[in-house]
Amino acid sequence: MEARLRQADKMQALGTMAGGVAHDFNNLLTAILGSLQLAGRRVGDNPGLHRLLRNATMAAERGSALTRRLLAFSRRNELALRAVSVNALILGMGDLLTRSLAGPSGTTVEVRRRLAPEPVTAVVDPEQLELALLNLCINARDAMPGGGTITIATEEVAVAAEQVPDLPAGSYVRVTVADTGTGMTPEVLARVFEPFFTTKEVGKGTGLGLPMVYGLVQQSGGGLTIDSRPGEGTRVALYLPAGDGVAAQGVGEPREVAPARE
Ligand code: ADP
* Ligand 1 mean position, distance from CA 182 (Å): 11
- Strand 170-179: give its sheet, edge to edge: 109-114, 148-159, 170-179, 233-241, 223-229
Q: Give the nearest ligand 1 atom to 204 CA.
A: 3
pLDDT value for 51: 92
pLDDT in tens, the chain (262 residues): 444 444 556 666 666 677 777 778 888 888 899 899 989 988 888 889 999 999 999 999 888 887 877 777 666 557 888 999 999 999 999 888 887 787 666 678 899 999 999 889 999 999 889 989 999 999 999 999 988 999 999 999 999 988 888 899 999 999 999 999 999 999 999 999 888 889 998 777 888 889 889 888 988 999 999 999 999 999 999 999 998 755 454 444 433 333 333 3
* Ligand 1 mean position, distance from CA 206 (Å): 9
* Ligand 1 mean position, distance from CA 188 (Å): 9
Q: Tell me how long the chain is.
A: 262
* Ligand 1 mean position, distance from CA 210 (Å): 7
As a whole number of angstroms, the distance between CA 197 and CA 174 comes to 26
As a whole number of angstroms, the distance between CA 126 and CA 103 comes to 26
Pairing type for strands 148-159 and 109-114 reads parallel
Select from 101, 149, 198 the residue to mutate for testing ligand 1; criterion: most ligand atoms less than 8 Å from CB.
198
Which residue has a Cα nearest atom 18 of ligand 1? Answer: 139
Q: C-alpha dihedral over 48, 54, 60, 63, to 10 degrees?
A: -110
As a whole number of angstroms, the distance between CA 19 and CA 22 comes to 5
Cβ–Cβ < 8 Å for 45, 254: no
Q: With H, G, I as helix, E, B as strand and everything else as coil, classify residue 180.
A: coil
pLDDT value for 256: 39
How many other β-carbons are positioned within 10 Å of the β-carbon of residue 150? 25
Which residue has a Cα nearest atom 8 of ligand 1? Answer: 207
* Ligand 1 mean position, distance from CA 15 (Å): 19
CB-defined site of ligand 1, < 6 Å:
135, 139-140, 143, 179, 181-184, 188, 192, 197-200, 205-211, 234
Cβ–Cβ < 8 Å for 123, 243: yes
- What is the value of pTM for the model shown? 0.75
